[in-house]
Every structure is written in structure tokens, then in C-alpha cells.
Amino acid sequence: MTTITLDNKIGADVIEAIKALLAGKPKELYSIRDDKIPALDKAIKEFNSGEFSVYKSVDELMKDL
């Protein structure tokens, strides 16, 4: 079996295209592992939806926490 590791920087569209190509193949020929980091996924979702704060200093951040 060949292992291919893709960095998330490659883009979700490319990853989805690869998954679509594999969809018709027998499952015993491949495996897909999707490592997720819940806190990072949440932060990305919040950033993409515009729900984020900008701080000018660490002190400002600490006051907000």
C-alpha cells in the first residue's frame, strides 16, 4: 500500500477531489485518515465567519480573558 500525506495547505478542494477519485475503489485498497484538531477547527470556523478579535498588545488580550 502507498501512503500519501497531504498538508491542509494544499486546499480542501484538492483533498475532496482525491476523495472523489477514490470513492469508487474497493475500501480495502486505501484508507483516509483525517486528523482534526478541535480547538483549531473552531478557531478557523470563527475566523472565517468574522467572529474574531484583534489585540494590539498582550496586556489588552489578558484583560479580555
Which residues in 46-64 are b (16+ Cβ under 10 Å) and which e?
Answer: eeeeeeeeeeeeeeeeeee
Question: How far is the CA of 18 from the CAs of 13, 36, 44, 47, in angstroms?
Answer: 9, 18, 23, 26
pLDDT digits (tens, 9 = 90+) for 3-60: 777 777 788 788 888 889 988 888 888 887 777 777 777 888 888 888 777 888 888 8
C-alpha cell at 20: 472523489
- Whether the pTM exceeds 0.95: the reply is no
Give burial (CB, 10 Å; 0-12/13-18/19+) of 18.
middle
